[in-house]
Chain A
Amino acid sequence: MEPIIIEGTPKTPTVKFDASEGVFEIKGRSIPENSVEFYKPLVDWLDNYKETPLNKTVVNIRLEYFNTSSSKCILDVFKKLEAIHKAKNEVEVNWYYEEDDEDMLEAGEDYESIIRVPFKMIEIVE
């Protein structure tokens, strides 16, 4: 599978999905007006990966900002990961937040409560 590598912009995050390593990363700002357009290729890619995943998949989410329309798309990403996990593969989500950013921590906890995949909340200390 070809990896997905997308450079970040002021409104969309940096994305690195590498199937050979089993490490996926979304980093930066996710505040586009049309978030479906941005996330659809990622969700489709995960749909493919889901067929032959590695034994262990690690997902690093390190967002500075995301808007509510991205929040639904991010949930779609997590739902694919949940399916991988349900098929008896190891999946781990690392949710990064800056030390004073309680909102970002709470957002991670929201997903943790909806999605049945192990989450690790990681505080970034400057």
Chain B
Amino acid sequence: MSFDIENYLKDQAKNNIILFYKGNVDSDVINHVLDTVEYKMVEVNEQSKLRKKVYNVLVESLQNLYHHVDRVPDDFEDQTSEKFGLLVVQKVKNGYKIITGNFVHADNLEKLEEKIKRINRSSHEEIKELYKFILNHQRISAKGGGGLGLVDIARKTGNKLEYAFRKYNDKYSFFYLNILVDERENA
């Protein structure tokens, strides 16, 4: 069976999908996604606190894709997307799930996983301190990212970062980040 990047979603996000996107993540796509999701949340009268959190997390996840995705493997079906990414926004019981997917080169996998594990080991207070430390000490990278995206997502949601790597071939894995933004108070 060939590799299907949507397989993961069949288990993780079945119903109430309010947005699905697969393809190049450029500035226009980001604008469009933000507008669409914001409009849909206003339409259902979502309370502003949750709406803001979802919007913030969406901005960071999309811009993470924009700044950090690795090139797609040579034999992948979509060769035209320079920054190929997958995005699903799903309405769940007390909030929203935002799932992103992108290729990660084997050379970058360990570093990414280490970063997530460090965040997931940290208490809310430690995440706050980590955020401030990076804000104050790290320069904006050549790619334009501040190295703060994942830390900010964890801080704003108060939830652990769920993630998975699915091996594509020896050089590449597909990385899924599964973020829950819900109404519960931050611990």
The reply to whether A65 and B56 form a contact with Cβ atoms under 8 Å apart is yes
Query: Which chain A residues border B135 with CB–CB below 8 Å?
Result: 71-72, 75, 110, 114
Taking a contact as CB atoms under 8 Å apart, the answer to whether B31 and A75 are in contact is: no
Contact residues of B between 44 and 71, Cβ < 8 Å to A: 47-49, 52-53, 55-56, 59-60, 63, 66-67
Q: How many positions in chain B have a CB within 8 Å of any CB in the partner chain? A: 33
B48 is contacted by which of A33, A100, A113 (Cβ under 8 Å)?
A100
Interface SS of chain A: helix, strand, loop or mixed?
helix
Whether the Cβ atoms of B136 and A67 lie closer than 8 Å is: no
Is there contact, CB below 8 Å, between A36 and B63? Answer: no
Would you call B140 and A67 a contact (CB within 8 A)? no
Given A110-B131, A114-B135, check contact A71 B148 (CB 8 Å).
Answer: yes
Interface of B is mostly: helix
A69 in contact (CB, < 8 A): yes
**A77 on the B face (CB < 8 A):** no
A36: which of B60, B67, B132, B140 is its contact (CB, 8 Å)? B140
A103 to B59, CA, bound (A): 15
- B115 to A: closest C-beta gap in Å: 14
Interchain CB contact under 8 A, B52 and A101? yes
User: Which of B63, B128, B131 contacts A67 (CB under 8 A)?
Assistant: B63
Q: Are A67 and B59 in contact (CB under 8 A)?
A: yes
Is the Cβ of A31 less than 8 Å from the Cβ of B59?
A: yes
Q: How many A-B residue pairs have CB under 8 A?
A: 73
Of residues 151 through 186 on chain B, the ones whose CB sits less than 8 Å from some CB of chain A are 151-152, 156
Give CA–CA (A97, B152) in the complex, Å. Answer: 18
When distances are taken between beta carbons in the complex, the residues of chain A under 8 Å from B52 are 65, 101, 103
CB neighbours of A73 from chain B (8 A): 140
Given A68-B152, A71-B135, A71-B146, check contact A33 B31 (CB 8 Å).
no
B152: shortest Cβ distance to chain A, in Å? 5
How many angstroms from the CA of A73 to the CA of B52 in the assembled complex?
Answer: 21
Encoded as 1 (CB less than 8 Å from any B CB) or 0, chain A from 35 to 51 comes to 11000000000000000
Interface check B30, CB cutoff 8 A: yes
Q: Which of A56-102 contact B (CB under 8 A)?
A: 65, 67-69, 71-73, 75, 98, 100-102
Q: Is the Cβ of A33 less than 8 Å from the Cβ of B144?
A: yes
Q: Which residues of B contact A31 (CB under 8 A)?
A: 34, 59, 63
Find chain B residues with CB under 8 A from A10 CB. 31, 34-35
CB pairs A–B below 8 angstroms (7 shown): A33-B66, A65-B59, A68-B145, A68-B149, A102-B49, A103-B156, A110-B132
